Structures are given as structure tokens and as C-alpha cells.
């Protein structure tokens, strides 16, 4: 277990949850000289790969957190920059979305496991002289005219002027604030798998393959297989049914059915299956309680927006807390979540369209649209989250 500093009894801002959102918020507060406590119920940070893509706008936020550029350079060095998303029908290319013309210092999508992104943010926080307080599970948050009192499972209390729920989808802070989480769940399950394989199109692009059985995303990850055989890829697939930890034969069969002959899977590194919801918190603030990241919005992983939106929330909220302009935070960031939920929902529904006629229409329309530069560039800008500067 990591040894962490004792929990103080008072602070200005209590940040509940040290995932990517809480870490980005904490770094922003530390840079601004705001007194805060960051706590997490886990004894250690998670080491699973989860969100695998960091978009251009998030790398710009890293540059705002460290204008020397060293922070974004550290992350970029741990990943693979990819300049193209290729949309396919099965293995057949339909359209491409290019990032290399984007007006940003980072004209690419960076493929990198979530634990690396968290490690880079934590490294920056520690360099600023602050660490995460672990393991402290917040069980209640009550507010009065002067502040918020958080109580932990061990019975300790922390008094703060403000408390932020960066505590994920099942947020305790959101429940304590009485804020609704409006939306519903998709019918399909999503399978995630990091595999070592040979993939005919190669590691220079991300593929989003449509198919009657569902959407399959194939994206390169850093790292090779044993003795250099194959390389690492992230698979995300919508499925009607799957075991909770899909095994190697399951993933092989799935790719053999959907991408005939294109993928030869050697090894399974990590896998998970989960139901996805699309929900947005009705408000981002109730008095002294605030929400950010998955506590405020969840959606389909199509396009890899979840963690990116959370990091950007954390940064925006840190600035709003430092400036004392909290209403601006909700006004700026909630519309972004609504737009991201709508975009990922559209992508998921187009990709999983059922019925031969609908799919044929889609496969005709999409290549035609993708030949229009304004459509192509608009989609790239939206995926890179550059419209949310």
C-alpha cells in the first residue's frame, strides 16, 4: 500500500477522486496556489488501460498546465501519435478523418493507456509538492452556509469551502448534492480488449469498422508482443452478449467474423465487458458541491471522448475556483458534455445501424460526405475537441 500524508481537518477545496479528472483539477489548483486536498478510496491508482486515446485539445491543456511543453512531451513519448481515423464497412474502407491539418500544436490523436496519462499528471502534482491522500472513502457530504463537511468510511471528517465530486459515474458527491443524472443505457454491451496481433492495415491509423453484428474499433497501442511478434492493439466492439472477462478464443472469433482474414491475434493482455450509459448531470453545481468528469457525464466510448472531456472539466473547474467564478464553469462545460453525448450517440447509432437498406444508405452517403472537406475537417475538429477551447 502506498503511504500518503494524514488527512487534514480543513482545506479550501476538497477533491473527491484521483482519476484523470481529479488529477487535472489538482494540478490546476496547485499551479494557481489554491489550498486543496485530493483524496481517493483506492489504496493505489488503477493500472488498467481503459481510455486509450488522448485528443489534441487535452494535449493543449497539458501545455497550459506546463507551458514549457515538458508535460505533453512526456505523455507523447509514452504513446503513438495517429493522424487518421479510417471508417470501414467490415474491412472495406469507406471514409477517412484526418487530424494532420488541424490548427493545433498537436495535430494527431495520441494512443496511450489511461494509466500512463494518470502517471504523467500525478508526476506533475508531486513535482508541485502535493500528493493524493489514500485510502479515504467519502461516504457523505453535507453543506451549510459556511462550508462542506465530508465524512469518510473510517469516520474522519474534512471541512472545506467547496467539495468537488470527481468520483466517477457512481458519484457519492452527486448523490449527496441531490443532482439527477438524466439519460439511459444502450442495449448493447461493449467489449474492450488489448491484444497482441498482426493487423493487415497496420499501426498508422485507427479503424472504426461497421458491420451487421456491431461496431469494431481497432487502434494501435504502444508495445509489442513477446519476441517482437505482432504488436499491441486496442479493440472496442459492441456486442449483444459477452462474458464479463472475454477470453482469447472469444476475441479471436469476434475478429474472425467481423474482419475476415485481416487480424491474427497472438495474445490477450487485458479485457473487460461493460454496459454503457449516456447520461448528463442535471446541474454541475449545487451550492458548495461541484461535479466534473464521469460524475457529470458518461457516454459511448466511440471516438474516445470520456477521459478527455473529464481532464478538460478538471482544468476549467480549477481555473473557475481560482478565479471565484463558479457559475461560468457550468455554463461552459455542461453544453460541451451535451454535445459530446450527442456526437458519440450519433456515431454509435450510425455504426450499429440494423437493416440492409439502412446500412446500404449509410455506406453510400458516408463516402460522399467524407469527400466534402468542410464535413471531414469539422468531424476531425469535433473529435479532437478543438471547438471547446
Ligand X SMILES: Cc1cc2nc3c(=O)[nH]c(=O)nc-3n(C[C@H](O)[C@H](O)[C@H](O)COP(=O)(O)OP(=O)(O)OC[C@H]3O[C@@H](n4cnc5c(N)ncnc54)[C@H](O)[C@@H]3O)c2cc1C
* CA nearest neighbour of 53 among 119, 111, 120, 116: 111
Q: Among the candidate windows 141-149, 198-206, 303-311, 331-339, which touches ligand X by CB under 6 A?
A: 303-311
Determine the interface stretch with ligand X among 79-87, 177-185, 248-256, 304-312 (rule: CB under 6 A): 304-312
CA distance to 24, 166, 212, per residue, from 283 (Å)? 21, 14, 37
| Of 79, 201, 230, 301, the one binding ligand X by CB under 6 A | 301
Looking at residues 12 to 31 of the shown chain, list those that interact with ligand X (rule: CB under 6 A). 16-22
Which of 79, 214, 310, 318 binds ligand X (CB under 6 A)? It is: 310
Least distance between ligand X and beta carbon 360 (Å):
29
Q: Which is nearer to ligand X, 58 or 72 (CB)?
A: 58
State which of residues 37, 102, 110, 166 lies at the interface with ligand X (CB under 6 A). Answer: 166
**Edge-to-edge strands, sheet with 53-54:** 53-54, 109-111, 80-82
Which lies closer to ligand X via its Cβ, residue 79 or residue 310? Answer: 310
Among 4, 8, 34, 42, binds ligand X (CB under 6 A): 42
Please state the closest distance from residue 110 (CB atom) to ligand X, in A. Answer: 12
Q: Which is nearer to ligand X, 17 or 201 (CB)?
A: 17
Q: Which stretch binds ligand X (CB under 6 A): 11-19, 200-208, 330-338, 366-374?
A: 11-19
By CB under 6 A, the count of residues binding ligand X is: 33
Within 101-130, the residues that bind ligand X by CB under 6 A are: 114
Residue range at the interface with ligand X (CB under 6 A); choices 245-253, 299-307, 331-339, 373-381: 299-307
State in angstroms the smallest separation of the CB of 386 from ligand X.
Answer: 17
Closest approach, Cβ 359 to ligand X, in A, equals 25
272 binds ligand X (CB under 6 A): yes
Q: Which of 208, 307, 321, 343 binds ligand X (CB under 6 A)?
A: 307
Taking CB under 6 A as the criterion, the residue among 66, 167, 188, 382 binding ligand X is 167
Asked if residues 124 and 66 have their Cβ atoms less than 8 Å apart, the reply is: yes
Positions 180 through 239 that interact with ligand X (CB under 6 A): 192, 236
Question: Is 274 or 358 the residue whose CB approaches ligand X more closely?
Answer: 274
- Which spans of this chain sit near ligand X (rule: CB under 6 A)? 16-22, 39-42, 50-52, 114, 137-138, 166-168, 172, 192, 236, 272, 274, 293-294, 301, 304-307, 310
Amino acid at each position: 500500500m502506498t503511504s500518503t500524508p494524514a488527512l487534514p481537518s480543513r482545506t479550501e477545496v476538497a477533491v473527491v477522486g484521483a482519476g484523470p479528472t481529479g488529477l487535472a483539477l489538482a494540478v490546476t489548483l496547485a499551479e494557481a496556489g489554491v489550498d486543496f486536498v485530493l483524496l481517493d478510496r483506492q489504496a493505489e491508482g488503477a493500472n488498467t488501460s481503459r481510455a486509450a486515446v488522448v485528443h489534441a485539445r487535452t494535449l493543449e491543456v497539458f501545455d497550459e498546465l506546463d507551458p514549457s511543453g515538458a508535460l505533453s512531451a512526456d505523455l507523447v513519448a509514452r504513446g503513438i501519435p495517429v493522424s487518421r481515423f479510417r471508417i470501414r464497412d467490415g474491412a472495406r474502407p469507406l471514409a477517412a478523418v484526418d487530424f494532420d491539418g488541424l490548427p493545433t500544436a498537436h495535430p494527431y490523436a495520441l494512443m496511450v493507456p489511461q494509466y500512463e496519462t494518470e502517471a504523467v499528471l500525478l508526476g506533475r502534482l508531486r513535482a508541485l509538492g502535493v500528493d493524493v491522500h489514500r485510502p479515504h472513502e467519502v461516504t457523505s457530504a453535507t453543506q451549510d452556509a459556511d462550508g462542506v463537511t465530508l465524512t469518510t468510511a473510517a469516520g474522519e471528517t474534512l471541512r472545506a469551502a467547496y467539495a468537488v465530486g470527481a468520483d466517477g459515474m457512481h458519484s457519492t458527491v452527486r448523490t449527496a448534492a441531490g443532482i439527477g443524472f438524466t439519460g439511459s443505457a444502450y442495449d448493447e454491451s461493449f467489449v474492450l480488449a488489448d491484444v497482441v496481433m498482426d493487423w493487415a492495415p497496420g499501426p498508422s491509423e485507427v479503424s472504426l469498422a461497421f458491420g451487421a453484428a456491431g461496431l469494431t474499433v481497432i487502434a494501435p497501442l504502444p508495445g509489442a508482443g513477446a519476441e517482437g511478434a505482432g504488436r499491441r492493439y486496442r479493440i472496442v466492439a459492441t456486442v449483444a452478449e459477452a462474458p464479463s472477462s472475454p477470453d482469447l478464443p472469444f476475441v479471436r472469433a469476434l475478429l474472425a467474423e467481423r474482419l475476415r482474414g485481416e487480424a491474427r491475434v497472438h495474445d490477450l493482455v487485458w479485457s473487460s465487458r461493460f454496459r454503457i450509459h449516456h447520461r448528463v448531470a442535471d446541474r454541475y453545481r449545487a451550492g458548495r458541491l461541484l461535479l466534473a468528469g464521469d460524475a457529470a457525464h458518461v457516454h459511448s466510448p466511440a471516438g474516445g471522448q470520456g477521459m478527455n472531456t473529464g481532464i478538460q472539466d478538471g482544468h476549467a473547474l480549477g481555473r473557475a475556483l481560482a478565479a471565484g467564478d463558479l457559475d461560468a464553469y457550468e455554463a461552459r462545460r455542461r453544453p460541451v458534455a451535451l454535445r459530446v453525448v450527442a456526437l458519440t450517440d450519433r456515431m454509435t447509432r450510425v455504426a450499429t445501424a440494423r437493416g440492409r437498406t439502412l446500412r446500404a444508405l449509410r455506406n453510400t452517403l458516408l463516402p460522399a460526405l467524407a469527400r466534402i472537406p468542410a464535413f471531414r475537417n469539422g468531424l476531425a475538429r469535433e473529435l479532437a475537441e478543438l471547438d471547446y477551447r
